Chains A and B, each alone.
Chain A
């Protein structure tokens, strides 16, 4: 089955992407607006999160309840979330309900009420969201890791700060909305059982007259630090560490994916085998890859009983460093098989396809074809992975731990 991918960028800068998947009954939509938490003014940290909640509480001719009811009646499962660079709107339902859902999303994106009377509730929720992090140690340690590892504001967390959230008013949130919500840089993607021509016409009718605004500059600070320990009386110690990798779009990108998958791509991958299977040090250990346009990192996590935490950290660091000494052909073949099956299985999910279309467009300015990704996977070799690892060795770690006692770092 050939891929049917469509693209159109409107004069105001809005990009529409679509993939037709004939064998399904559903469709998923994904909107990325360049309004992530990196644009939160420091004194109002958390404003994007508050906006993402407030924005669905009434839009166009519907108040909060009517809007929610209209979306529910379309059987739409949805989520509004805030990432570093983008605010993301995701929705999935039966394909026949997609046009009606798009009409409502045009209201949400362009004509939200942002009602003053809902501010108190939204702020209370944002504060609880921040507070409940204290009950989720794994998430907490990974968030603290990103804050420490990236230059401000790249590592900021969407949850913001208590002071930032408390400082907000409907007026401030509306001003933030007006400054950031605009078609330039916004990507709307759809995947599922859809027809391109009517989709494009509908999106044109709904969004072509959306006025473009200014692109906001981003000024980066310096990396805040390298080490931090959060003291907390927990059963397990949480360990998180990060080091530099190559961003997507660079020649070494697939080699970087290969390397992180040798470490953590399956249950026979190195970290799982050495830390969990051979030594029984923990239940969860993994590494994953995170990219921005201009930089990327490998983020690594392990959670373990306090008595075994030091050994877990030592073994994990040793494994990360050992990787550049060499990779087996066998390991590369397993990574290739895993990546290939993920690639093909993704074609069975409208949500993953809608997401991939948009992220390819954001990072690369085009949508990669199956064949392109497939041949890059096939071209991986122990040599290409080791060559990448020599350019980006595992060192200069940023390390955050959470638990009763700090650990000793022997680099």
Chain B
């Protein structure tokens, strides 16, 4: 059995998947907290805290943290999403003890006032960087428009104003509430010794405080259904997003949803590829499925020249409408499955890929899933399950957002027909 799990007395969960042929190991701490867990007065605190975690502890300055990671040649980073904050490192097996020591140490950060003030600048720079990338900006606005007052609409980065207004004490309070042991999973994959790993984590994390965990506002949404055009004169291309509802992460229908999204909007050979990219009407077109706790969403997007946008939008709505009416063909289904199968296998060949996969499956579902479990789940998708999914989550009922130089865009009659 390549899978191991163990729960510490304070509630911290440890899981691992062995792969003796691997030459390295990937290690991650999954904290089940994200932008959806923020109240409006601390918008952006989760992501800012992720940065502050690297700023040091009683044992290490910020520079020590970076140096200690670099000393063991770790490939390390962290990310914050709507629902998770994940700290991770890929290392050679001989450095696992050091990697556990650093990660466990930094997850109890000092949050020193001068570091806090300095890092505010970096966060504001990061916000500025994304502002200059219209595709990101459009994605963020589309998400906010779709989710409206649903907590998933909260911005991950926050705004320069919300970041400036944030105090160190607010961050400390948030940290103490969300970084409790039962809200954290330590995950390892690749080449490692399980007993030694558990002992290392227990030694470092066994003293972490415990506390109630949970998440408020877990509910389904169908989206606001709004249509918004954001005019940005400095932007050259028009960037358009259409969001429609989908199944939540808890639902096995997520496999069907992933497969359908791929058939509609993969970057080659998909419906949108043939309708928009192949004929040169748009420089990119995509459809992907994002699942969250309690709800899910299909993100369909394209970017093109402003004068082409009206026609492209109608084509996309027509494609979505046709899929809604008739589903996809058996040929398209097989094609999508072949691609997914190959991607799942390739992602699993690196410890980092497996660490992320088992970490997410555990965080969301308290389940261990092998690569073959996932392959089987995708293999079991049928035209019938796609039909059922579409009946439940209509693709053509979307919330639409365009960002770019256009002042006006018309939503023709429903169903995308002229």
Name B237's contact: one of A68, A135, A265, A337 (CB within 8 Å): A135
Contact A348 B128 (CB under 8 A): no
Contact B331 A268 (CB under 8 A): no
Give every chain A residue within 8 A of B132 (Cβ-Cβ).
137, 234-236
Give every chain B residue within 8 A of A122 (Cβ-Cβ).
280
Count residues of chain B with CB under 8 A from any CB of chain A. 66
Contact A273 B280 (CB under 8 A): no
Contact A68 B268 (CB under 8 A): yes
* Contact digits for B113-126, partner A, Cβ 8 Å, 1 yes 0 no: 00000111110111
For the complex, what is the distance from the CA of A68 to the CA of B66, rounded to whole Å?
A: 45
Contact A345 B90 (CB under 8 A): yes
* Contact digits for B232-260, partner A, Cβ 8 Å, 1 yes 0 no: 00111100000000000000000000000
Count residues of chain A with CB under 8 A from any CB of chain B. 73
Name A77's contact: one of B76, B91, B305, B342 (CB within 8 Å): B342
Binds A, one of B80-88, B193-201, B343-351: B343-351
Task: Determine the residue in chain B with the shortest Cβ distance to A93.
Answer: B342
Task: Determine the residue in chain B with the shortest Cβ distance to A129.
Answer: B283
For the complex, what is the distance from the CA of A19 to the CA of B125, rounded to whole Å?
A: 43
Assess A277 versus B235: contact at CB under 8 Å? Given A69-B335, A72-B269, A236-B128: no
Contact B277 A125 (CB under 8 A): yes
Contact A349 B350 (CB under 8 A): yes
For the complex, what is the distance from the CA of A55 to the CA of B308, rounded to whole Å?
A: 26
Question: Which residues of A, 317-357, contact B by the 8 Å Cβ criterion?
Answer: 330, 333-334, 336-342, 344-345, 347-350
Binds A, one of B7-15, B19-27, B173-181, B210-218: B19-27
Assess A23 versus B338: contact at CB under 8 Å? Given A94-B345, A132-B236, A280-B122: no
Contact B133 A277 (CB under 8 A): no
Give every chain A residue within 8 A of B129 (Cβ-Cβ).
235-236, 283-284, 303
Name B125's contact: one of A26, A65, A78, A304 (CB within 8 Å): A304
Query: Of A97, A123, A333, A338, which is in contact with the most chain B CB atoms at under 10 Å from its CB?
Result: A338
Binds A, one of B67-75, B358-366, B389-397, B410-418: B67-75
Please give the distance in Å from B29's CB to the nearest CB on chain A. 17
The verdict on A220 contacting chain B, using a C-beta distance below 8 Å, is: no
The verdict on A288 contacting chain B, using a C-beta distance below 8 Å, is: no
For the complex, what is the distance from the CA of A235 to the CA of B121, rounded to whole Å?
A: 14
For the complex, what is the distance from the CA of A366 to the CA of B416, rounded to whole Å?
A: 57
The verdict on B183 contacting chain A, using a C-beta distance below 8 Å, is: no
Please give the distance in Å from A107's CB to the nearest CB on chain B. 17
Assess A121 versus B280: contact at CB under 8 Å? Given A267-B69, A341-B24: yes
Please give the distance in Å from B67's CB to the nearest CB on chain A. 4
Contact B135 A340 (CB under 8 A): no
Task: Determine the residue in chain A with the shortest Cβ distance to B118.
Answer: A280
Contact B280 A124 (CB under 8 A): yes
Contact A128 B128 (CB under 8 A): no
Contact B350 A125 (CB under 8 A): no
Please give the distance in Å from B256's CB to the nearest CB on chain A. 19
The verdict on A134 contacting chain B, using a C-beta distance below 8 Å, is: yes
Name B69's contact: one of A73, A129, A268, A283 (CB within 8 Å): A268
Task: Determine the residue in chain B with the shortest Cβ distance to A24.
Answer: B349
Give every chain B residue within 8 A of A244 (Cβ-Cβ).
none
Assess A125 versus B283: contact at CB under 8 Å? Given A280-B119, A304-B125: yes
Task: Determine the residue in chain A with the shortest Cβ distance to B21.
Answer: A23
Name A348's contact: one of B24, B62, B124, B277 (CB within 8 Å): B24
Name B74's contact: one of A72, A78, A341 (CB within 8 Å): A341
Contact A78 B268 (CB under 8 A): yes
Contact B121 A131 (CB under 8 A): no
Contact A135 B236 (CB under 8 A): yes
Contact B75 A75 (CB under 8 A): no
Question: Which residues of A, 240-264, contact B by the 8 Å Cβ criterion?
Answer: none
Query: Of B134, B278, B341, B343, which is in contact with the most chain A CB atoms at under 10 Å from its CB?
Result: B278
Contact A77 B269 (CB under 8 A): no
Contact A341 B73 (CB under 8 A): yes
The verdict on B301 contacting chain A, using a C-beta distance below 8 Å, is: no
| Residues of chain B having any CB pair with chain A under 8 Å | 21-24, 54, 62-63, 66-67, 69-76, 90-92, 118-122, 124-126, 128-129, 131-135, 234-237, 268-269, 274, 277-283, 303-305, 331, 334-335, 338-343, 345-346, 349-351
Which 5 interchain pairs have the tightest Cβ spacing? A75-B342, A124-B280, A337-B73, A121-B280, A341-B73
